[in-house]
Amino acid sequence: MKEIKLTGSEKNLMEILWEKKRIFMKDILDSYPEPKPAATTIATLLKRMQNKDLVGYTQYGNSREYYPKVEKREYFNEEMTSMIDRFFNSSVTQFASFFTSNAQFSQKQLKELRDIIDQQIKE
């Protein structure tokens, strides 16, 4: 799996690409809340992300339709693994202990988590 590192601005743009699947520059700009970034800023981000092989495009005349080349799930998995490595010494057990003891789950939510884990063990 390729390493996926995104800056905050790149992540915001990827969120739009993941949601829309395929999108033109004008529509990317329209998807941002006010104050909207400059088109040149978005173009620079897109170019940087193409260089990282995270974004591709299809050319239609003078227009490009952009699309993500990495799935959101793949990005999320790598981010979670990196966080567990950095903060919990690569120990999923330490992460789970911290997560369940600090998140203030209800008994019902803890049971649902246990059921998910039990199902994963069966598979």
pLDDT in tens, the chain (123 residues): 456 788 889 999 999 999 999 999 999 999 999 999 999 999 999 999 999 899 999 999 999 999 999 999 988 888 888 888 888 888 888 888 887 777 777 888 888 888 888 888 888
Q: For residue 28, with 0-12 CB atoms within 10 Å meaning exposed, 13-18 middle and 19 or more buried, which class applies?
A: buried
Q: Say how far residue 52 (Cα) sits from the centre of its chain.
A: 15
Cα angle: 64, vertex 69, 47; to 5 degrees: 50
Q: For position 95, what pLDDT does the model report?
A: 83
Q: Which CA distances in Å does 50 have to 24, 33, 35, 66, 97?
A: 15, 23, 25, 10, 38
Q: For position 105, what pLDDT does the model report?
A: 78
Q: What is the residue extent of each domain of the chain?
A: 1-89, 91-123
Q: For position 1, what pLDDT does the model report?
A: 47
Choose which CATH entry (3.30.1490.100, 1.10.3450.40, 1.10.10.10, 3.30.1300.10) describes domain 1-89: 1.10.10.10
Tokens read off for 92: 């999923």
What CA–CA distance (Å, rounded) separates 113 from 92? Answer: 14
Q: For position 2, what pLDDT does the model report?
A: 57
Tell me the β-bridge partners of 58: 65
